[in-house]
Structure 1
């Protein structure tokens, strides 16, 4: 977000051209962000963005209010927010309900927003996303997760000027963190409690 708002790419280009040309950066506090998924990841992201004065809206299955979000709506009411978005960030899990959720119909509602996916690749209709970028409904997409990984060398996404690819590295777990989580979970189970990372099989996450 900072790279876009502060025109990093343009300034790098100007540096190569030895041009001193002032372009005023935009403030994060002028931005409206919609986060899909208001759980642990989405909630932490909202808290960080709020500390910079960002207007943060959330979309979840329930629409229940959550800390750090200015407003949370249910999926059925998302269209009311989409046209206000400067940025749309997905942290959604992959379930039967979310597969290809970001489809052509959804893309048609968006009006010139940036799109970031750090949730699951299969929640996005990849062809629909490319079309939305070509039609400038999506200004640029930052994609960390894909339906099929690793992304094949034949994919046209590698060369697309408005798609930024990262190789599924937005939530790296170190060996130390994994051991700490395992030990904490084991202790809670042995004490007859429920671990904080309990999965609801019916919900799928």
Structure 2
């Protein structure tokens, strides 16, 4: 029996996703119709981009699962019409892309590259930066993306401490949780990386009180989610020099408005939400595997806990 798969993603990416998903479905030997235009009551699976025009899942009475193309779920998880299981995207391409971006910017700040790249009068003879073993990195969020980034940084000899809401264990990483654990990570982070999901519990997790716990001159790197940071508190900390620099890839409003103060601040680097994008070739394999599992009555991978919000 053939199944029907609705693509409800970015229409500009339909051609590439059609090719990659069709190929991945063929490899698991399931007969399927993949289309971006199907009657709602005949759809078995929805491949979904939270920016999609599709926001009402009520008509999809036959759908066995909604398979997200994003790692983030804050734009969909609280949708009251979403009664179907929702699987977020966790794949090798996302993990590798995020790791490369995080490591690149940690090294940029660790090696103080901006002093040499942007300075019109290079400081010949200035002292070299410390070695990685003497630069402490903290990571808030030890899910899949946080875990692989932490491991990559420990492999470069950075001492890494990480915080998560529940207990975690990662070889070579000091893993902490709870309020005391969060304070401990903040106080020993010369470079702080934010990789938490956006939930009601994590909004403004980096507020004025917690920013003050960071060492003087600390660097903040946020490729996670914009609402993790109290923007007013961060700008105030940047202005008084307590935070030395902030490299921000995500924001509460995207694209970042032209008049946002982050653009003009000399100690802020803005990047346009590029830390890690979904790669169609690797994402298609994850989607196909979840469809195979659905047809075989096996548990879906990467299901979102709607109550927890991630």
Q: TM-score of the superposition, structure 2-length normalised?
A: 0.61
**Partner of 2:153 in structure 1?**
49
1:36 aligns with 2:140: yes
1:123 aligns with 2:233: no
**Partner of 2:168 in structure 1?**
65
Q: 2:193 aligns with which of 78, 84, 89?
A: 89
**Partner of 1:169 in structure 2?**
274
Point out where structure 1 has 5 or more consecutive residues left out of the alignment: none
Q: 1:184 aligns with which of 289, 292, 301?
A: 289
Q: Which has the higher contact order (CA 8 A, sep 6+)?
A: 2
Q: Report how far residue 12 of structure 1 moved.
A: 2.8
Counterparts of 1:18 and 1:39 in 2: how far apart (Å)?
40
Aligned residues: 203
- The question of whether the paired residues in 2 share the 8 Å contact of 1:144 and 1:170 is answered with yes
**Partner of 2:212 in structure 1?**
108
Q: 1:74 aligns with which of 177, 180, 184?
A: 177
Moved over 4 A (4+): 16-20
Distance change (3 Å), C-alpha of 1:145 and 1:32: same
Counterparts of 1:18 and 1:96 in 2: how far apart (Å)?
45
- The question of whether the paired residues in 1 share the 8 Å contact of 2:192 and 2:221 is answered with yes
**Partner of 2:301 in structure 1?**
196
Q: Report how far residue 22 of structure 1 moved.
A: 5.0
Q: TM-score of the superposition, structure 1-length normalised?
A: 0.91
- The question of whether the paired residues in 1 share the 8 Å contact of 2:109 and 2:219 is answered with no
- The question of whether the paired residues in 1 share the 8 Å contact of 2:151 and 2:173 is answered with no
- The question of whether the paired residues in 2 share the 8 Å contact of 1:108 and 1:137 is answered with yes
Kindly name which structure, 1 or 2, has the bigger radius of gyration based on alpha carbons: 2
* Equivalent residue runs for 1:1-20 within 5 Å: 1-13=106-118, 16-17=120-121, 20=124
RMSD across aligned C-alpha pairs, in angstroms? 1.8
Q: Report how far residue 19 of structure 1 moved.
A: 7.0
